[in-house]
Amino acid sequence: MARIVGAYATSHVPAIGVAMDQGKTDEPYWQPVFAGYEASRQWMEDLKPDVAIVVYNDHATAFSLELIPTFALGCAERFPIADEGMGKRPVPEVVGHPDLAWHMAQSIILDEFDLTIVNAMEVDHGLTVPLSLAFGQPDAWPCPVIPLAVNVVQYPPPTGHRCLNLGRAIRKAVESFDDDLRVVIFGTGGMSHQLQAQRAGLINPEFDNRFLDLLVDDPEAAAAIPHVEYLRESGSEGIELVMWLVMRGALTPRVTEIHRHYHVPASNTAVGHLVLENQD
Ligand code: DHB
Ligand code: FE
């Protein structure tokens, strides 16, 4: 049987990808950001997962306002890197795991979540920046990746509670797959940030750290945070944090916190990072 062996959550700030691609990680601005990812890079290297499920959001790259799936599961053989307007990032193409992805679609849809099945999709910084942080700069990503895109761009995004329950359905799906796969799950996006209008540049470390504490120890309370509170406290793009709840739901009720990193600022956001393992 397949099982979830660890969870990796991180912000996906595009400038982090640019800093890595351009060899700037040792510069004084970036050094404290990347220092917080060294231990978890080693953790990932030791873990050697067979597959990564990456819960992320598309930023009007693969999907536009013409088509807005709430939850979209990537079932393709491969996912090309998107050109977001500045050329493609020089990172390897993402190779999928169609067998596990189709099994997940079957299990999760029959569990009454109406996933959108995606057979062709380019992936943007929401997915590639977390892969770069976790795996560094290899010639090929070390494992296949199943993208799960969550709409956090156009209101209404899913509730935190719905996201936590989707994570539970993901765990059930993984644990009913016959092959002995060791699966790591990523939650991405956040932390507090607002990219436009009067409050552009908003960062709220108190909210962010409370969210990290709740996510680890009281995920039901984190899941009860309403959209209006994310908006007010963490800025308009802070709503990306609901994706961390999908990751958390895929873990056991109690978890061990392996690693945490929080740094302000990186570009316009606070950077947050958590590594968790199942306890039960
Ligand atoms: C920034 C952060 C994001 O999450 C994003 O998707 C785009 C830009 C930023 O801080 O610049
Ligand atoms: Fe984003």
User: Among 56, 208, 218, which residue's Cα sits nearest to residue 131?
Assistant: 56
* Residue boundaries of the structural domains of the chain: 3-278
Distances (CA, A) of 96 to 62, 78, 106, 153: 16, 5, 17, 24
pLDDT in tens, 97-131: 999 999 999 999 999 999 999 999 999 999 999 99
Reference 127, options 148, 157, 152; nearest CA is: 148
- Nearest protein Cα to ligand 1, atom 6: 13
**Res. 271: pLDDT tops 90:** yes
| Residues in a beta bridge with 141 | none
Does residue 138 surpass a pLDDT of 90? yes
Token duo for residue 167:
């994570």
| pLDDT digits 0-9 by tens, 31-49 | 999 999 999 999 999 999 9
Catalytic positions are 125, 193
- pLDDT at res. 221: 98
| C-beta of residue 246 within 8 angstroms of C-beta of residue 150 | yes
**What beta strand segments (E) does the chain contain?**
3-10, 51-56, 71-74, 78-79, 94-95, 116-118, 145-150, 182-188, 255-266, 269-278
Q: Indicate which atom in ligand 1 lies nearest the CA of residue 269.
A: 10
Integer Cα distance of 131 and 56 in angstroms? 11
pLDDT band at 233 (very low <50, low <70, confident <90, very high): very high
What pTM, to 2 d.p., does this model score? 0.98
Q: What is the pLDDT of residues 139-171, one digit of tens each?
A: 999 999 999 999 999 999 999 999 999 999 999
* Distances 60 to 53, 142, 186, 196 between C-alpha atoms, Å: 21, 27, 20, 16
Q: Could you tell me which of 253, 227, 279, 41 has the C-alpha nearest to residue 164? A: 253
178 C-alpha to center of ligand 1: Å?
38
pLDDT at 280: 80
pLDDT, tens digit, 9 for 90 and up, residues 194-232: 999 999 999 999 999 999 999 999 999 999 999 999 999
Measured by CA distance, the residue closest to atom 1 of ligand 1 is 13
What pLDDT is recorded for position 199?
97
Is residue 10 within 6 Å of ligand 1 at its C-beta? no
124 lines ligand 1 (CB under 6 A): no
101 CA distance to ligand 1 middle (Å) = 28
Rg (CA), the chain: 17
Do 107 and 121 touch, CB atoms closer than 8 A? no
3-278 folds as Protocatechuate 4,5-dioxygenase; Chain B (3.40.830)
Structure confidence at residue 7 (pLDDT): 99
Q: What is the pLDDT of residue 56?
A: 99
Confidence of residue 270 (pLDDT cuts 50, 70, 90): very high
Tell me what pLDDT residue 171 has: 98
Q: Percent of the chain at pLDDT above 90?
A: 100
Cα–Cα distance measured from residue 264 to residue 12, given in angstroms and rounded to the nearest whole number: 14
The minimum-distance atom of ligand 1 relative to the CA of 125 is 6
**268 Cβ closer than 6 Å to some ligand 1 atom:** yes
Contact in structure between 272 and 10 (CB atoms under 8 Å): yes
Q: In whole angstroms, what is the distance from residue 199 CA to residue 238 CA? A: 12
Report the distance separating Cα 107 and Cα 103, nearest Å.
Answer: 6
84 falls in which pLDDT band (50, 70, 90)? very high
